Amino acid sequence: MDKGNIEKSGRYEEYEGSVLDNRYVLEKLIGVGGMAVVFRARDMYINDNTVAIKMLKEDVASDEKMVKRFKNESRAESMLKHPNIVSVHDVSVKGEVKYMVMEFVYGMTLKNYLKAKGGPLSFEEITSYTMQILKALAVAHDNNIIHRDIKPQNVMVLENGKIKVMDFGIAKLPNAETVTVTDKAIGTVYYMSPEQARGKQIDCRSDIYSLGAMLYELSTGTLPFKGDSPVSVVLKQINENPVPPRHIRPEIPVGLEQIILCAMSKKPQDRFQSADIMLDYVKRLRANKKIKFSQLPSQSWMSNFIAGAKRIFAKKEK
């Protein structure tokens, strides 16, 4: 898992060597987060395969809201089978120890990778990672699952350059009660869509906005909005437009700036209307770094709307 952000805890290291449900041998504590700890483990039932065990911390294992979030994550990820999404193999929330069994991926979060690089990523990395994330989102959205927490902390970069999207803990699932977003990490406000910040209804375009904010950071090395408090950042997400990326780094391709600003449009109808549509534009940019898009989805949407309205009125006049 994330080798760039491992926090050790003597209490949880005591679990090393123990066996869960006579099946999973906990080999090594590899990470401690806000609500869970992660172990590298062996699955004795399946050829001693290496897996990752995500275990709820003892102090939150009895919290109904946290358990619901945990179950939400396991359900969402188990529904989605895609090379760019961390897969879930098993989950147990019945006993005192509540855990999830996931595929083991060795790498670091995109956030830590960006810190390690010490600045913006290369054009090749930005486009490659964005295309992979969009493919993962397209599959999730096709299954009516909205991630709601897309940020570089929830994206793993493997050593071979492959991307894995993870942590669907607050995802919006079809036909299910979802977890509120009030308990989310403070860092999340930096990528939150305006409609999500307002508590309004969201759809796949909210994930598009969050990806746009993340793409802004990968391209410029800075967040699109900063503030003295989470509330001040949220207000900027709602009311302000970001400084155009090329004002910060003039060497950023025009097409990349266009994609970022389109994805971060305040109104959902002005953004890319799906992950697949945005993916098409990123592919075209990757193929031609100097491309300048003559018409973005927001412009074509408005043109189509106006044209449609004219046709309706023309029929009425007849």
Give 178's DSSP letter.
P
Cα dihedral 135, 74, 216, 218, rounded to 10, equals: -90
* Contact by Cβ (8 Å): 235, 177: no
| Residue corresponding to tokens 């990820």 | 77
What number of other Cβ atoms are within 10 A of residue 6's Cβ? 13
Q: Which structure tokens are listed for 169?
A: 């803990």
Q: How far apart are CA 97 and CA 149, in angstroms?
A: 26
CA 282 distance to own-chain centroid: 17
Q: Which residues of 173-207 are buried (b: 16+ CB within 10 A; e: fewer)?
A: beeeeebebeebeeebbbbbbbbbbeeeebebbbb
Query: Among all residues, which ones are annotated catalytic?
Result: 149
Strands laid side by side in the 107-109 sheet: 107-109, 155-158, 163-165
How far is residue 37's CA from residue 10's CA, in Å, rounded to a whole number?
Answer: 12
